[in-house]
Amino acid sequence: MLTCKEFDAFMVDYLDGGLPAWQKFMCWMHVRMCRECAYFIQQYRQAVALGRDAFDGPDDAVPDSVPEDLIKAAKAHRDNDPKR
């Protein structure tokens, strides 16, 4: 069986689904046998989900529109581009 340290090294690939079948099985077994790692991976996934949710919700800092002065500045920036 994998040690916790060995399992930890595989965690990104394990969650990405990028491990060969045998290693995936070893990780899966480890999570079922080790309470600490099962708890760790549960919280780890929650942290990832919370992070994603923080920038994906209705209150995300996506403005409805762009301030007019910024649109003017972007147009002026292009007009002043020497390559134009």
Residue 73 is encoded by which pair of tokens? 């500045």
Residue from 20, 22, 64, 82 that binds another protein (CB under 8 A)?
64
Residue 45 is encoded by which pair of tokens? 């996934």
Distance in angstroms (rounded) separating the CA atoms of residues 45 and 21: 21
Which CB, 29 or 47, lies closer to another protein?
47
Distance in angstroms (rounded) separating the CA atoms of residues 31 and 64: 44
Residues 3-62 that bind another protein (CB under 8 A): 3-6, 8, 11-13, 16, 34, 36-37, 40, 43-57, 59-62
Query: Quick check: 1 binds another protein (CB under 8 A)?
Result: no
Instruction: List C-alpha distances in Å: 38 to 7, 11, 14, 58, 75.
Output: 11, 12, 13, 32, 53
Q: How far is the CB of 21 from another protein (least distance, A)?
A: 19
Residues 65-84 that bind another protein (CB under 8 A): 65-66, 70-71, 73-75, 77-78, 81, 83
